[in-house]
Amino acid sequence: MSDLAIVTVETLPLGEVVWRKDLYPRLETNPQTVDQYAEDLTVLPPIEVNQHHELIDGWHRWTAHKKAKAERVPITVTETSSETHLLELAIRRNAKHGLQLSLEDKKDMARRIYNGTAEREREGKKAALAATLSVSERTVRDWLSRIDKDTKEARDKRIFAAWLACRTQQEIADAEGVSQKYISEQADSYQTADLPSGMKAAAEHATDFEPPIYNVWKQQDKTPGGKHFGNSEVRWVDNLLYLYTRPFDVVIDPFAGSGSTADLCRKRMRRYWVSDRKPAVGREDVIREHDITAGLPRLPRWRDVGLVYLDPPYWKQAETATIRRIWRTWTCRSSRRLSVILSASSPASSARVLTSR
């Protein structure tokens, strides 16, 4: 990033200079240098600050003015566009004059600047840091390897979460700034066996679950959770996932309500496509806005669908020709065994299972 225009200002009260320790590369003060500068302030060049009077260059000169009990200090002003820009300028100025940064200082500065750099710009930033800090690019890469590893792990977790939510590969690639090929390779690599032990146990219903013994499920109280009119009973949905799906199968719920189906699918490692005509407030990032009577959802691969869960607001609605037509269309789209569940909204009622083979 190039420096912006420098405007010369005569002086500034010492108390108005802002020193940001987190944005200044000088980690230690040299008392001898301060004493030497304080002997004759008139020969010192002005310190450099940005438009907010934050110090860019001149820590020892500014400290010398304070030691000499001066009231004002000569300054020049350089506009900065961000905190990272300020830090880069400070490092560049220190590399040209004054006490040079130690190798540990440079390592710390490289990491701080790199952390403030957009992920898409990081590869090119390494060469720029090497030039700014007067070290080899290999040294910079060694310093930043841990950050790169942590960044990749965090990015891959976001990709996996988006894949579970049935986002398209191109949507995920655009959001993460990677190629669609990379997303495709990631998706092809997902295996239940590779999940961490806790996630694998949840995916296989080995935790927080009791397999149903009977085919009629009744209970007096609903499981605590999101309050939404007619929302599905979570324990029923969990039973359905156990009986009719496998890990990474796709579950469709076009009457998502408060989003409990999505939450459960994430816990059980099922992919999910959930929507509602009016998504619950605060859950718009999880629940798509879609009126199922207007058409079928666009899914990446219909053959991955293992369960369609229909829990309309009223049981009578499930008897309408529209819902029946949707069910027939879905079962025709799928190339594998597909279970379509028509459920009543009341927890005291039973569910009806319509299975296509």
Helix residue ranges per DSSP H, the chain? 31-38, 59-67, 83-96, 103-115, 122-133, 137-164, 169-176, 180-189, 197-203, 234-244, 260-267, 315-318, 321-333
The pLDDT tens digits for 111-161 are: 888 887 888 888 888 998 888 888 899 999 999 998 889 889 989 999 999
3-state secondary structure of 227: coil
3-state secondary structure of 195: coil
Closest CA to 269 of 141, 109, 160: 160
d(CA 86, CA 92): 10
d(CA 126, CA 141): 7
**Which residue is it, tokens 């691969």?**
301
Q: Note the pLDDT of residue 183.
A: 95
d(CA 245, CA 256): 18
d(CA 291, CA 242): 28
Residues 6+ apart with CB under 8 A from 182: 173
pTM: 0.67
pLDDT tens, per residue, the chain with 357 residues: 455 545 556 799 999 999 887 777 755 677 888 899 999 999 999 999 999 999 998 888 999 999 999 999 999 999 998 888 888 888 888 766 555 677 888 888 888 888 878 888 888 889 988 888 888 999 999 999 988 898 899 899 999 999 999 999 999 999 998 899 999 999 999 998 899 999 999 999 999 999 988 877 776 566 565 555 455 688 889 999 999 999 999 999 988 888 999 999 999 999 999 999 888 888 888 999 998 878 777 776 777 888 888 877 654 454 555 556 655 655 555 555 556 665 544 444 444 444 444
